[in-house]
Amino acid sequence: MILDIIISGLISGSVYALLAIGFSLIYGAARIVNLAHTAFYMVASYCIYYATHKMGVHPVLAMLAAIILVTLIGLVCYQLFINPIREHEAAVLIATIAMAMAMQEVMLLIFTGDFLSVPALVKGYLKIFGVKIAYQQLLTIGAALLILAGVWAVLMKTRLGLAVRATAQDREVANLMGMNESRVAMITMGISVGLAAFAGAVVVPLTIVNPHMWMHPLIIMLAVVVLGGLGSLKGSFAGAYILGFTESLVVFLLPMGAFLKGSVALSVMILVLLIRPEGLFGVAFEEER
Amino acid sequence: MKIPKFVLSILLVACLVMAIGLPAYAAKVIKIGVIGPMKFVQGKGHWNGATMAAEEINAKGGLWVGKKKMKVELVKADSNEFLSMTDATNAMELLLTRHKVDFIVGGFRTEAVLAMQDIAMDHKKIFIGVGAASDEICTRVAKDYDTYKYWFRGSPFNSTYLGKTSFIHLGTVAAILKMSLNIPKIKVAVVAEKAMWTEGMIKACKVYLPKMGMEVVGIWRPSAVATDVTAELAAIQRSGAHIVFTIFSSSVGITFARQAGELKIPAAMVGINVEAQKDGFYEATEKMGNYVMTLNTYARGVEVNELTPRFVNTYIKRFGETPTYTADTYTAIIYSLAPVIEEAGTLDADKIVALMENREYAVPSGKHKYMKDAQGRHLHDLTWGPGYLTSLGVQWQDGKLVGVWPNRWKAAKGVPEITYKGIVPYKIAPWIIEKYKK
């Protein structure tokens, strides 16, 4: 059973990590709490569904096209709805949730509320010590690790990464040093939405496409980033796996309470926050940034 | 400018004539409100079934109401009940106050139907429920007849009977597995979504399955909208279950079937899986939903009686898909309401109720007869059993949804076996045979 728990936890954790990293990135760099993050993931899923089922496009091409298209939509949304009110955090919260609701309604109008699906990139399963794991799930774990490595490389090894980190530390000083803080924020938004779309592309073959598919991941993703420490990529990664393993433990040890897996995971988050209010890898006070 | 008295008088008379005449003009049609979650497949079924019924009636010139022939006009109301209870009650209020409908058909979620029922009853309008299965909706009629007598169940039969039928399906599949694979004792994993309507069935599983000679190896309760059940599936496989008894009405039915098919979990799936009743299920599971069995109302090629093929085939021709039970708005209008309106010769709800509750009539899914409770009080609930409504057991075989039950079913000792026309044998998934065949 331990092996089952480890493998199930790894799968769930990887999916949560994929979503949380993008969210953390834009919060860390631009202090934007983008509640529409998982709505972009939903739109990407629909794009892939439409391209594969209605246009007959190969799934890989459909995924690439969806990532590009959703990233562009994200940038347009940023310019139109977020950038003008960026300084007002509460307004950004409301604007992004409104954006998410609007995207949901548009998808509902176009595709109705039917439950849809997208084919797996790799079909079949692998047996590891008697535990069956679908290849698609292994692909998701691999993609999550790859993306994290990619994001880390961009942040640590490029000039853009340096600018993002500098802006994240102190926007005013970064501006004084000649960095175009607004442009950095827009680029970071693009990367963040691109990551959401990528998460959608990798996760969509494992899930059911419907207009409300963004809501549950949003809650878990928020829990992950709060648990890990707002804006911390390292924290998001750790938080995602902690919640993933917690959920897996609940299903295996409390089958009758399997539906409580989300609640138990959120309780773990609260417990950690009681002991360490800033989250696992967060900064205790704003002044420390 | 001064308006002459003569002109004023004419205007006044014209207004009076219009005031009297407009309701009379409006009364030339019978207004039926069709309420349901219209952006979802359940609501589409409601609307499609009602549309077919209205077209059929109007093609014949309408219904005789006394000496007048009146056409049927449908009014669509989106209850949006999956997302908002307020939307559902508002939609019902609109139907009754703005559109002033004469009858209402539809509704899906029990929680929403209970609220909408109260509104319809306040307006003393007949509401035929097509979707919600909870017993509670009908026990209200027995408890407070004067208030709730305008409510009638149209489809499906109540959740107690849904549970009973599912247990019969489970027993049938268990017997097939035992005989074909020489399994001495069948182990059952119960997987029920977290929802109010499943609670009673879970309790019944704990009580009845051991009595049926089966062992319950565990009960799993995923969320109704879970998008990943691999952990549950791993645990079920670890438990050694031969059968997974599913109790699903939401999207988790697709997730579960798809992931179980992908991982070739060696356990037969049987029970209720509302998503598996729909034509789109096979595609939604990316062709992984084969061998899933579920309770259902209609299946292509299966005849419960002589009315079934006409309805099913016309529906398929008109809408390109097999009707699900929410399309029984057709039955509610054509078989439940229309004959009674003509017999009563009026749209008066009280007179129609008195006729409706005592009728017995054939419908495409069997025969309707409204039950009374143990104390002889009207329930306006549907009678279950051979000769009345039994539903079907359907299974996905090679990408097609086929009827597999009742197949030589004996409801009791000494009664004749029942097999509906078009029923085919149940098939065991090859990976289950591979695992257990000695």
Of the candidates B111, B124, B120, B112, the residue with the CA atom closest to the CA atom of residue B33 = B120
| Contact residues on chain A for B261, CB-CB shorter than 8 A | none
* Domain, as residue range, for A49: 2-211
> Residue B40 has what pLDDT?
87
> Residue A288 has what pLDDT?
44
Three-state SS letters, B185-248: CCEEEEEECCCHHHHHHHHHHHHHHHHCCCEEEEEECCCCCCCCCHHHHHHHHHHCCCEEEEEE
* Beta carbons within 8 Å of A174's beta carbon, 6+ residues apart: A163, A166, A167, A181, A184
Facing residue for A208 by CB, picked from B41, B254, B263? B254
Facing residue for B220 by CB, picked from A113, A213, A258? A258
| Contact residues on chain B for A255, CB-CB shorter than 8 A | 218-221, 232, 235
* Beta carbons within 8 Å of B393's beta carbon, 6+ residues apart: B169, B172, B270, B293, B294, B295, B296, B403, B404, B405, B406, B426
Pick the residue of A117, A202, A214 with the most B CBs within 10 A to test the interface with B by mutation: A117
Q: Is residue A59 part of a domain?
A: yes
Answer whether A244's CB lies under 8 Å from A9's CB. Answer: yes
pLDDT in tens, A210-223: 998 898 889 888 88
Pairing of strands B366-372, B360-363: antiparallel
Angle formed at CA B307 by CA B304 and CA B312, multiple of 5 degrees? 80
> Residue B56 has what pLDDT?
97
pLDDT in tens, A18-68: 888 888 888 888 888 999 999 999 999 999 999 999 999 999 999 999 999
Q: Is residue A260 part of a domain?
A: no
Contact A115 B225 (CB under 8 A): no
Q: Is residue A288 part of a domain?
A: no
- CATH number for region B160-296+406-436: 3.40.50.2300
Q: Is residue A50 part of a domain?
A: yes
Percentage of residues in chain A having pLDDT higher than 70: 97
Mean pLDDT of A130-153: 83
Direct distance between the N- and C-terminal alpha carbons of chain B, in angstroms, rounded to an integer: 104
CB atoms within 10 A of CB B66: 12
| Distance from the A86 Cα atom to the nearest Cα atom in chain B, whole angstroms | 31
Mean pLDDT of A246-267: 79
In degrees and rounded to multiples of 5, residue B82 shows phi and psi of -70, -25
> Residue B4 has what pLDDT?
66
In chain B, CATH 3.40.50.2300 sits at 10-156+305-382, 160-296+406-436
Check whether A129 has a pLDDT greater than 60.
Answer: yes
User: Does the interface predicted TM-score (ipTM) exceed 0.85?
Assistant: no
> Residue B438 has what pLDDT?
62
Contact A252 B235 (CB under 8 A): yes
Q: pTM here? A: 0.82
Which structure tokens are listed for B75?
């009014």
Facing residue for A208 by CB, picked from B44, B223, B251? B251
Q: Is A119 on the interface with B (CB under 8 A)?
A: yes
Which structure tokens are listed for B333?
């209008």
pLDDT tens for chain B, 438 residues: list them.
Answer: 556 666 666 666 665 555 544 544 445 899 999 999 998 889 999 999 999 999 999 999 999 999 999 999 999 999 998 888 899 999 999 999 999 999 999 999 888 999 999 999 999 999 999 999 889 999 999 999 999 999 999 999 998 999 999 999 999 999 999 999 999 999 999 999 987 778 888 999 999 999 999 999 999 988 888 888 888 888 898 899 999 999 998 889 999 999 999 999 999 999 999 999 999 899 999 899 999 999 999 999 999 999 999 999 999 999 999 999 999 999 999 999 999 999 999 999 999 999 999 999 999 999 999 999 999 999 999 999 999 999 999 999 999 999 999 999 998 888 889 999 999 999 999 999 999 876
Q: Is A256 on the interface with B (CB under 8 A)?
A: yes
Q: Is residue A219 part of a domain?
A: no
Residue owning tokens 């143990």: B374
> Residue B2 has what pLDDT?
59
> Residue A122 has what pLDDT?
85
* Beta carbons within 8 Å of B294's beta carbon, 6+ residues apart: B246, B270, B271, B272, B273, B274, B276, B277, B393, B394, B395
Contact B39 A262 (CB under 8 A): no
Side chain identity at B398, as an amino acid letter?
A: D
DSSP A81: I
- At the top level of CATH, which class does the domain B10-156+305-382 belong to? alpha beta
- Total domain count for chain A? 1
